[in-house]
Structure 1
């Protein structure tokens, strides 16, 4: 049965650009559909003086780079604004975490090798964020990405993803949980643990459905299809649905194109 991926969000993603005010909900709706420029524009009037708005705007534009491989100058500018208005160590740590993610995206997408900068920025974030800071879970997740994709160290990645998952669960960050589920499942698939991989990919997909995170649906569908038996009907259906969403969103995320063109 086809999944209702186009429905409105049934819940808001705590600590992930979502919230209960009309403005926060508007930002989330735009972001979840890949309209990062429009979402960032809603935050721009407050970004010059308010760190939360500046950090959220920077994070949106960094995410746009990760999904589209474009907009690097705008993301850098937004990061400089967030760094300028940060008023305490947790805020400076959150800004450093975004800078590390931008450098990671540039490296993993083959735009420019900034791996050293990514590691240094995340190291700075780790030194600045207090142990109980909400941003710790996101930092752990991003350190896992670097360990897995830049360091080829799946054991370190798994440990980081597990810490991130625990932190995201504790803070009610359902969107981050969808990412940690997917990446833990990817490591399980790499180790041949198919049942564990299918479980994690399914959890990730269901969270994205409930949140209405449309722009993240195609990657979740492809990941789950990869854990199905070769040439299975379910795997074919999942991949076909991923392709439909990928085209609907204008070809984002760009890094998914080679997988959807296979066969």
Structure 2
């Protein structure tokens, strides 16, 4: 089974019914239900265990809950990993979970996050599909933990190029968003508006509903009235629809 992590649509070229169901639940903030569909396979299948762990790690970022379940799932994935790609993907998820805990103020695990992503970098080959996601997550740490926008931009651009090469449209949503955020901080309003608009367009095309409210709120920062108010109102409507998830509109994980 393919490891989809945070990126990807969760579907396959053959439209595998299981992966389609997982994607639909995930995109509507139902990570626990999506992970449950993988429970049986994840006992022995390394790919399923990795995907299940990534779903539960993502839930932590969007809801600030479920840390123990994510840790348990990640330990299972780490134990089942049988080659460098799988070990690298597990290390990437370990880094993301530690990053999320630090970012959201649960516990300072910044050193663990950097160490885990460093292990992932040693295991995931340059040009491999998982490398783009790794680059993106290293950008998150540079931007939000190390306060190094220049390093973050370089990492996001590498991730953007990798996501483009591998057709990973969901990851492109996130790279567009974060590159636009850096542009906004530098006062490059037109560049920021373009990036946020591209991110929103892709999210809507993919049907990744849980990521749409933050994208709308971000784009609103670059638009004049009355468009800014309309975008904020739409973001609020989606938040109510999803029972307040994501719990924070920014930064988008």
TM-score range for the pair, normalised by the shorter chain length: over 0.9
Alignment pair present for 1:237 and 2:230: yes
Report the CA distance shift for 1:31/1:175 in structure 2 as closer, same or farther (over 3 A).
same
How many angstroms does 1:33 deviate by? 0.0
Deviation digits for residues 109-158 of structure 1, max 9, x if unmatched?
A: 01111000000000010011111221100000000000000000000000
Runs of 4+ in 1 over 2 A off after TM superposition: 13-19
- Confirm or deny: 8 A CA contact 1:97 1:125 kept in the other structure: yes
Instruction: Give the corresponding residue for 1:59.
Output: 54
Decide which of 83, 91, 94 is 1:96's aligned counterpart.
91
Q: Distance in 2 between matches of 1:95 and 1:134?
A: 14
Q: Is the 8 A contact 1:17 1:56 kept in 2?
A: no
1:87 and 1:15 map into 2 onto residues whose CA distance is 22
Which sections of structure 2, spanning at least 5 residues, go unmatched? 1-5
Larger RCO, structures 1/2 (Cα 8 Å, 6+ apart):
1
Aligned to 1:39: 34
For normalisation by structure 2, the TM-score amounts to 0.94
CA contact (8 A) 1:14 1:172 kept: no
Contact 1:178/1:204 (<8 A) preserved: yes
In the TM superposition, residue 51 of structure 1 has moved relative to its aligned partner by 1.4
1:196-211 to 2 correspondence within 5 Å? Answer: 196-211=191-206
1:137 aligns with 2:132: yes
Question: Alignment partner for residue 146 of structure 2, among 145, 151, 154?
Answer: 151
Q: Distance in 2 between matches of 1:173 and 1:92?
A: 21
Which residue of the partner structure matches residue 9 of structure 1? none
Whether 1:75 aligns to 2:65 is no
Q: CA RMSD in A?
A: 1.2
Alignment-derived partner of residue 248 in structure 2 = 255
Match of 1:122 in 2: 117
SS at structure 2 position matched to 1:256:
coil
Q: How many residues align?
A: 243
